[in-house]
Chains A and B, each alone.
Chain A
Amino acid sequence: MLRFLLAALFAFSLTLSAAGPLNIPFKEYKLDNGLRVILSEDHTAPSYSIAVTYDVGSRDEKSGRTGFAHLFEHMMYQGSANIGKGEHFSLVFTNGGTMNGTTSQDRTNYFETLPSNQLDLGLFLESDRMRSLVVNQANLDNQRKAVQEEMRLRDDNQPYGKTLDADIGTAYNSFAYKHPIIGSMEDLNAATVEDVAAFFKRYYAPNNAVLTLVGDFKSDEALARIKKYFGDIPAQPAPPKPDISEPEQKAERRTAIEDKFAQVPRLDVVYKIPPGDTKDFYAIDVLTDVLAGGTSSRIYQNLVKEKQLSVQAGGFSYEHRGPSLALFIAYLRPGSDPKETEKVIQEEIERIKAGGITDDELEKIRMQNKLGNVRQLQSTGSRAIQLGQFAVYYHDPGLINSQIEKTLSVTKEDVQRVAKKYLVDANRTVVLTMPKAQGTK
């Protein structure tokens, strides 16, 4: 009724464009050395983005050698045959570009956005380090130091810096997903140049990567240049697949940690769920949104607005190529009992199992997902990253257009079914982060 009234107030449409389904155009190619290439033209601004996504993440690491995938994210800026140490960064920046690299459990990516007149620069930078990264003792020592500094900054000096590590460390059995991406100080200290060189040769090969270009270029010209820069990099034997098998969890797990920089307690309630791009994952994604996505969600309204047990609450599904997680996080009001907050989260989950969700809620989540998807597609950089990631994760870059349809096809019945199936006691992990009183004031 309300929607009808509002529509009546604005009898004319404000948009002229035909707002049909999104269609990000792209073309796929494969070079002889196995490098997969994705090109997507967009001529709105004089710029383009390049992303190289390597099929290696912390899940590929072995016990005693953790932190390698992320260490590489740093090593990759240490120079190659034709690029000096740190010169990559300097070249991108002095040409007005932006760049970064990120490491997750499931992949490592490197990306730059540059003016369109610097197409050769981006291709040269990425090809030169894929072909000829300099791996030596000095670089290793230096970057080990950089990573350890990053650890200190991230984990040892900020509130809740160790909470997510506690979540995954407790919830997972599989070593692949259990250990922190950044690794341990001990493992990093134990890394040798030989280890690092072998890791590079095995995983940073053209046949283990996807190159994506999005933006202001002509595809045929770009492809010719890609062949020129990348075509002669030799392929390597396919890397081994990591063991990501995760046994069924039989009983609830609980951990409490202390945090000397936290001022209020934080409660994390975590469930193990199926891998990304599965029917159940999409349904759980909708479920976590109904429960805890934003301020109109059930848990937020109950915990923060009604009962005021927490000052902030949220939740999301954390997508992996392997076993994934649904997380609900609440920052408690000082003095409130964590058990009370946990009980409310539990009650809201049980309410969905018993009564499902409403049409309005489903419609709301659909619209929010459409919106999130459009926002995600705004920049060429984000499109390049997504195309590369979908290609590496699921061999389906077309998910950039079709993933939203999969989310929109989730039904109320799906949501209730996955709540009953996965959000159960035995599949739960609860992590409580308590402020630790500081020794001196």
Chain B
Amino acid sequence: MNWLMPVSLAAVLGAGIAIAQQAPEADKSVSLSKVERKNKAPVSKELIKVRLPRPVEAKLDNGLTVLIIENHKLPYISMQLLIDGAGPISEPAAQIGLASATASLLTQGTATRTSLQIAEQTDRFGAGLQAASSFGGNGAIIAASGLSETVDKWFPLFVDVLLHPSFPEKELKSYQQRTLVNLKRQRSSPDFLASERYNRAVYGKFPAANVSASPEFLQALTPAMLAAWHDERYVPQNAVLGIAGDVNPAQMIEMLKKSLAPWKRTSVEAKLPPSAVAVARKQVYLVNRPEAVQTNIMIGNIAIDRRNPDYIALRVANQVLGDGPASRLFVKLREEKGYTYGANSSFHALQFAGPWTASSDVRTEVTEGSMTEFFNEFNRLRTEKAPDAELEDARRTIIAKFALSLESPEQVLDAAIQIKRYNLPADYWDTYAAKIAAITADDVLRVAKKYINPDNAQIVVVGDATKIKSIMEKYGPVTLYDTEGKELVN
């Protein structure tokens, strides 16, 4: 495939080195200066109508939930099996990396196929097949997608890696070696160093604190450990299988009943440890990266889980603060000050409480100015009512973005999976636009006060300590780390 066709598998996998990241195309193109509004462009103020196709839903005898979105626009089918309780959040504290290793090795050999045969057959049948279990999550995902004309050839591969992985010794060795190199290599990435330190800071003892495997445990892994984790955790009653695209739902369900009959229900539940709570005391963590020309900044603290009633109001508050180029952080740090290429905020609300986070990569010389602007914006959001026009824009953006997401059957499916996963009302998305539209300036002020708290913010910076340490000390006691993750004595 040539460059005009992005290497979709590589991009999806993410585990390897995304060669596509080296793309020479210089993308993104935004103003560094303050937005000047002439208001002459024709804009329709009408809120776009959103109709979400309902999935066909089935529950198999073994407890597996199946959701199917039928769409025949292209001869293509994508499937995603999400198994709760098979992810790193559930792994024992002494076995950091077990869940991700198990998932990664599913496609590396089964009772009847070698890793090469799986790769070759997947390619030959016009399909892609990946399994992954990401740090910070409680699930493992097996994803398969491919041409509908060959689904009867590639679907059995999906079933095979789910039910009969063999975890070959040789493949494990190769995985260990590659992963150890990756663990070392990712220490050259400031983004990685920042997120590693930040997750430890906000999550504390909660297992989402880990963002990568323990090298010591990785070396001690055996095929038996992987097989045991697979046997115990890859169970149908904790799983949702989503299918989108060029399928006939009735036929597909019949086929699933037959091919997944050997997958037996057990009594294992996908339980979570108690959620983390916001850290009470403000702390500063500095990862020293000598010669770095930029400082990577992450600021935040634990906020809410996905079922929290404040989710909708916080969604709007975050839109105002730092979601996208019309947001306050972006406008201030990038457009007005020219400190950075981008600045944003987000919040992570899953089955457990995750953090709100503001972040930016700024030039080393403007580290101090950037910190000042971040805290100014947090305080402004907490103390001043958002103007009507800004709030109206934020609400319209969220609703229109939601409407646009319906272009992709996978995203429609993802919305349906979220309802299952977070146990939301069945009409959740039908009323979503109305709920967003009802959020007021008082709501935004209330949730900002409640969650976006500068007094206990956890602050992580990655940069050249000789240039930024004294600045960071103004924000609290600084704990210093090297790029290996070792704490340094001041």
Q: Which residues of A contact B (CB under 8 A)?
A: 2-3, 6-7, 9-10, 12-17, 19, 22, 42, 44-47, 70, 73-74, 76-79, 82-87, 89-91, 93-98, 100-105, 113-118, 120-121, 124-125, 128, 139, 142-143, 145-146, 149-150, 152-154, 156-160, 163-164, 168, 180-182, 260-264, 276, 281, 285, 289, 293-296, 301, 304-305, 308, 311-312, 314, 316-319, 329, 331, 333-334, 360, 363-365, 367-380, 386, 389, 438-441
Is B84 an interface residue, CB under 8 A from the partner?
A: no
The CA-CA distance from A377 to B437 in the complex, in Å, is 33
A–B Cβ pairs within 8 angstroms, 17 of them:
A9-B156, A16-B248, A73-B26, A87-B35, A94-B326, A101-B28, A142-B32, A154-B26, A182-B26, A263-B187, A301-B116, A308-B174, A312-B17, A331-B185, A334-B181, A441-B290, A441-B483
Q: Evaluate contact between B115 and A319: CB separation under 8 angstroms.
A: no
**Other 18 A-B pairs with CB < 8 A, given A10-B155, A118-B43, A156-B293:** A76-B29, A85-B34, A87-B37, A89-B325, A97-B400, A157-B294, A263-B188, A311-B17, A311-B181, A367-B123, A368-B1, A372-B8, A374-B75, A375-B76, A375-B145, A378-B76, A379-B407, A441-B483
Residues of B with C-beta under 8 A to A121: 41-44
Q: Evaluate contact between B32 and A91: CB separation under 8 angstroms.
A: no
Q: Evaluate contact between B403 and A157: CB separation under 8 angstroms.
A: no
Is B281 an interface residue, CB under 8 A from the partner?
A: no
Taken residue by residue from 1 to 22, chain B's Cβ proximity to chain A (1 for < 8 Å, 0 otherwise) reads as 1111111111000001101001
Taken residue by residue from 151 to 194, chain B's Cβ proximity to chain A (1 for < 8 Å, 0 otherwise) reads as 11101100000000000000000100110011011011110000
B residues 226-246 near A (Cβ < 8 Å) are 246
Closest-CB distance, A243 to chain B (whole angstroms): 20
Residues of B with C-beta under 8 A to A262: 188
Q: Which residues of B contact A (CB under 8 A)?
A: 1-10, 16-17, 19, 22, 24-38, 40-44, 46, 48-50, 71-76, 115-116, 119-128, 145-153, 155-156, 174, 177-178, 181-182, 184-185, 187-190, 246-248, 251-252, 255, 290-294, 324-326, 335, 338, 340-341, 361, 363, 393-394, 396-404, 406-408, 482-483
Q: Evaluate contact between B26 and A103: CB separation under 8 angstroms.
A: yes
Given contacts A95-B397, A372-B1, contact A153 B248 (CB under 8 A): no
Q: Evaluate contact between A367 and B147: CB separation under 8 angstroms.
A: yes
A94 closest partner in B (C-beta): B393
The CA-CA distance from A182 to B23 in the complex, in Å, is 12
The CA-CA distance from A368 to B24 in the complex, in Å, is 24
A382 closest partner in B (C-beta): B6
Q: Evaluate contact between A94 and B396: CB separation under 8 angstroms.
A: yes
Q: Evaluate contact between B3 and A318: CB separation under 8 angstroms.
A: yes
Q: Evaluate contact between A95 and B120: CB separation under 8 angstroms.
A: no
The CA-CA distance from A421 to B370 in the complex, in Å, is 55
The CA-CA distance from A102 to B6 in the complex, in Å, is 15
The CA-CA distance from A7 to B155 in the complex, in Å, is 11
Partner of B26, one of A77, A89, A102, A296: A102
Q: Evaluate contact between B404 and A308: CB separation under 8 angstroms.
A: no
Q: Evaluate contact between B1 and A159: CB separation under 8 angstroms.
A: no
Q: Evaluate contact between A73 and B29: CB separation under 8 angstroms.
A: yes
Q: Evaluate contact between B123 and A368: CB separation under 8 angstroms.
A: yes
